[in-house]
Structure 1
């Protein structure tokens, strides 16, 4: 948003009025009394905010915004609050117009003290939302377990008071390229929404190359408006349209066969406002994770169903993954940790929940069920299942654990990748390869199955072994369970982005597999974030 010269002049006048005109010239005694009254008012207004109270007390209640405060700070703050919508923040929560009016109308020292503290509060709210997000992620979904940094209020306003105000407020936004690219996509979608979106939806279940008709024209027009196809009068699903559909499919996580099948048409028919919501949620997620990423890390994006090894901003390894099923006890959580080691030829120690919910009922019906698993007693030794009366136990009192020894049929496959965490989540191989052919790959109990686990292992070992493949295969051939430590633990980020923009400026969108985006956007809406203003 660009302010007109008239608008800038108005802000300067308001700021000047706050900084100067509020304290008219008095005699020395009356001036001292006014200053004392102003300080008293600031102290009273800030008393319930520990951070602000600490800040003002340390500076003897000298104002930042009013009286002898810096007029630039008022103007910079008002401009920043008015442009908060550019970042998908709740503009109404800062009420720039109300603050401006209060600044203009304040006359007495008491009024000025209240305005001073109100301006400080709104600056701090704005700064906190920009740096750390509007929402507390754990309050939205208990599987959003990332640690979001929140900054000390007293230190923040102290830094603001000592800095160039406009520059300070600009630096509150995440400085990662991913955030900047998302913001550009947001502005682009807002303009499209104001112009009516992408036009008529495609009224067909499936369209194939060579077809003609009204639905093909609808497909052509939407692809043109989306930027996948140059302007054309063609009424046939020709080679150019097929190539455009393939590009669209790549950017939406679909098999790029060039055929507009049901899943492709469903994505093409998404409304602009739906994509805008995804972008706004992605920007909030970027604010939750505003700290710069490590130069070398592992990235799992749940809705994208892929794992990448990222080095200096580029993917050096990529594999399909299967993530947790969309049920309350199986969804893969979002968090960060460090991968410390891998286990080659792993045993599978069956989680207690799976033992009692899945295997115990099977063995109660047939004691020979799940024969591939060993029953383990409390002493850690295998127990002959023929000696167990499974019928006498339930989920609470079943006294045994279960284990699957190393084998090609092991549920964890032949290697697992460990970053010990309280969620008991890790990456691993699997003998069930067929699921990797699905577009939507949410089938596991929560852990992340890797399609190319050996290649993943080689890539991780390349940092410490001259022949990583040979080293791994030698360990594998022993058939014995062995832990292999990573000399340099690798940061792991398990994230959930249904929208992102790549370095080439191309937007990518995915399905909201766990409905987390939907819950986050509902919470943002309750906090005051709105799409309503973009079409005005």
Structure 2
């Protein structure tokens, strides 16, 4: 017969049943009763389900259920740390803070019952574990929000019970929590801007910017002073004395270019529709963007290598970071919406020059086959060849393409090496289940586009030879003379990297560079909304 009572109802019935005997129960007994519920039950405190259903009971069992928070410094340090979680883009109320502070206030007058003492102890321990978990691995699990996020979760401490015991014994809660935060410079700088923008928001936010005709350097207009005031407020224009000027002068042009660069717009110094739209984004929206990207940073930037490649898909750039210095940067083209470049970590191992391109089955059947049915000469025009499943090259002129469809296509189509090849003259390989890699492209003009989401998922790299020479790190051998020699040979050539390098494909729509420039990127894959919604949900 099914139990008619819920677990929470049972909890309150249990409390009522033992209420008359409560005065005779010690704090240790209260803790033991609460952290060792019946089989399949959950650990509750005052009707609230605790986050740590495994580590917390183990922690108290190992200390014979003795209270852990008798030290006043530890209590105060925990409360201050939980209150400061707002500076991390997190929510203090997620960590039982209101309940803990209410119990702390009551304890100051000595009016806490033994049951309340046990409650407070358990809530504090759970709060510390939960907050540390959020700092280490984020509040959300992105892979449950979007399938295209495939970054392994950060590894926690090998012995959390011992770490918790040592932290309380050494009274160093704040320093231990600090160690759980990402070490990357971007995390600290984004927190700086979060606090800055929140302060500005409390003072009324940024000056309003109205729509109007396109403005160019040298123009005079009544709208220019409000744009000047805005540029001063966001830090792109320094000349405060000119804020009321209606002239679009050289200083203002440079400020507009910096604003455009920070928002990944074309930096032409012309104030058109796109620039105005970015200036009209409310400060509250920018704050939200920083908060959700702080969360992303916790997912992926906890322990980065001394030398690594990083592709920000939303930012359309690949960078190499060596000993915390940016040593390479190039514009890239990424997957279009609904053909998204996945988010994951890989290891780049080798480079292929003069590559051939084997068309993925989906492209061969859904894009190339319809063209072949209309134009049998399409293969020759695109320098392609047809093979059977064993790799034998076939005479494509003997094939009746009208007989085949996406469900019945026994061929492999490969594009020959050469300047016409879709992969260009070089590709950078980090084997992965998505068959995604960095490569060149013959369509060089696309790099000048503002939004560069055009590919089927792979990443096209503008400065291909700069990347190759950076990775080979041997200018005496790997220079343009050597590269030209291989290209002229026409031979497909595989080059093993002297040292494999980790590459991170990430997705950030807000970021800060080493010069403390705050940048915002277009949410090309429409990921921000779901994360922002989840971040606003309270856990208690």
Given the two structures, how large is their TM-score scaled by the length of structure 1?
A: 0.86
Q: How does 1:171-186 map to 2 (within 5 A)?
A: 171-186=179-194
The more displaced of 215-224 and 381-390 is: 381-390
Pick the aligned partner of 2:201 from 170, 193, 196. 193
CA contact (8 A) 1:91 1:528 kept: no
Please name the residue that 1:34 is paired with.
26
**Which residue pairs with 1:44 in the alignment?**
36
How many angstroms does 1:109 deviate by?
3.5
Q: Which residue of 2 aligns with 1:496?
A: 507
Quick check: 2:511–2:518 contact (8 Å CA) kept in 1?
Answer: yes
Q: How much does 1:40 deviate? A: 2.5
1:225 and 2:253 aligned: no
1:249 aligns with 2:254: no
Write the distance in 2 (CA, Å) between the matches of 1:253 and 1:311: 24
1:169 aligns with 2:188: no
SS at 1:83 equivalent? helix
TM-score (norm 2): 0.86
**How big is each residue's C-alpha offset from its partner over 1:405-452, in whole Å with a ceiling of 9 and x where there is no partner?**
211101101110001111111000111111111111110111011112
Q: Give, in whole Å, the separation in 1 of the partners of 2:510 and 2:313.
A: 12
Matched-pair contact (CA < 8 Å) for 2:223–2:246: no
Describe the shift of the 1:468–1:215 C-alpha distance in structure 2 as closer, same or farther (beyond 3 A): same
1:352 aligns with 2:340: no
Q: Counterpart of 2:472?
A: 461
Q: Partner of 2:64 in structure 1?
A: 60
Mapped to 2, the partners of 1:308 and 1:165 lie a distance apart of: 36
Uncovered stretches (5+) of structure 1, i.e. residues with no partner = 1-29, 530-536
Q: Look up the SS of the partner of 2:183 in the other structure.
A: coil
Structural mapping, 1:443-522, within 5 Å: 443-463=454-474, 466-522=477-533
Measured in 2, the distance between the counterparts of 1:274 and 1:120 equals 34
Alpha-carbon distance in 1 for matches of 2:87, 2:445: 44
CA RMSD of aligned residues (A): 2.4
The separation in 2 between residues aligned to 1:363 and 1:319, in whole angstroms, is: 36
Tell me how far apart the structure 1 counterparts of residues 143 and 494 of structure 2 sit (CA, whole Å).
34
String of CA shifts for 1:152-183, please: whole Å, max 9, x gaps: 65455344334422322333332332111100
Partner of 2:4: none
Query: 8 Å contact 2:317–2:332 — kept in the other structure?
Result: yes
Check if 1:130 corresponds to 2:168. Answer: no
Cα distance change of structure 1 residues 317 and 169 upon mapping to structure 2, 3 Å threshold: closer
Work out the CA distance in 1 between the residues paired with 2:331 and 2:125. 48
**Equivalent-residue separation in structure 2 for 1:245 and 1:318 (angstroms):** 23
Matched, 1:157 2:164: yes
Q: CA deviation at 1:453?
A: 1.2
Q: What are the ranges of 5 or more consecutive residues in structure 2 without an aligned counterpart?
A: 1-21, 44-52
Tell me by how many angstroms 1:339 deviates.
0.8
The question of whether the paired residues in 2 share the 8 Å contact of 1:299 and 1:494 is answered with: yes
Matches within 5 A, 1:89-100: 89-100=90-101
Does the CA contact (< 8 Å) of 1:374 and 1:402 recur in 2?
A: yes
Please name the residue that 2:18 is paired with: none
3-state SS, counterpart of residue 207 of structure 1 = coil
Q: Is the 8 A contact 1:128 1:150 kept in 2?
A: no
Per the alignment, in what secondary structure is the counterpart of residue 342 of structure 1?
strand
CA contact (8 A) 1:462 1:468 kept: no
